[in-house]
A = this chain, B = another copy of it.
Amino acid sequence: MAGTGSGSGAPRKQRADSRRNEEALLKAAAAAFVTSGVDAPVRDIAAMAGVGVGTIYRHFPTRADLIVAVYRHQVEACAEAGPALLAESATPHAALASWIDLFVDFLVTKHGLAEAMRSDDAAFQTLHAYFLDRLVPVCAQLLDAAATAGEIIPGVDALVLMHGIGNLCIGADSPGYDARLMVGLVIAGLRLR
């Protein structure tokens, strides 16, 4: 039957210029995020990529889509580091601590990402969905291992923990604040005494 095959309905492949623009946008966004944070004005990013604002919306309907696209690799790396750390580390609690460190490293080096992570704006739904769906299970696994080993208090929800860690990383570069110290206190607080 008029299949979904290549018969008559072969959908045209994406135009070359479109792909080029997408890549230019990704590069421009990455650069803009570094200098102006993830809230960099849409117009700036578009200008930097040499495209119109319409183009940015066509490729990345929401800001979250753009953020996800820019940081996908790093999030993947973080997610994959979880099981690895669990295998290498002396104890599950050590693995958990190291992994959280990795996560914190990721967040504090992206101006505004931590803020964006917790925005309840509908446009950031994608961000929640991706970041959390990808990282929460990893965190849960580490948490579970540590709890099973009797190292930490049981029953701590990974989603809540990650949410909290994310919050602690907001404004990590303000003078007079120390996100890592606070995260350290949380990790210490998890410990069973």
Chain A contacts to B: CB under 8 angstroms: 118, 120, 156-157, 159-161, 163-164, 167-168, 170-171, 174, 176-179, 181-182, 184-191, 193
Cα of A191 to Cα of B192 in the assembled complex, Å: 12
Chain B residue, CB-CB nearest to A169: B167
Judged by DSSP, the binding face of A is helix
Q: List 13 A-B contacts (CB under 8 A).
A: A118-B174, A120-B174, A159-B176, A160-B181, A163-B174, A167-B171, A167-B182, A170-B170, A182-B186, A185-B186, A185-B190, A189-B191, A193-B193
User: Known contacts being A167-B167, A167-B171, A171-B118, is A160 close to B186, with CB within 8 Å?
Assistant: no
Is B186 in contact with A118, judged by CB distance below 8 angstroms?
no
Contacts A160-B178, A186-B189 known; list 19 others, CB within 8 Å.
A118-B170, A118-B174, A120-B171, A120-B174, A156-B185, A159-B177, A160-B176, A160-B177, A160-B181, A160-B182, A161-B182, A163-B176, A164-B168, A164-B179, A167-B171, A168-B168, A189-B189, A189-B190, A191-B193
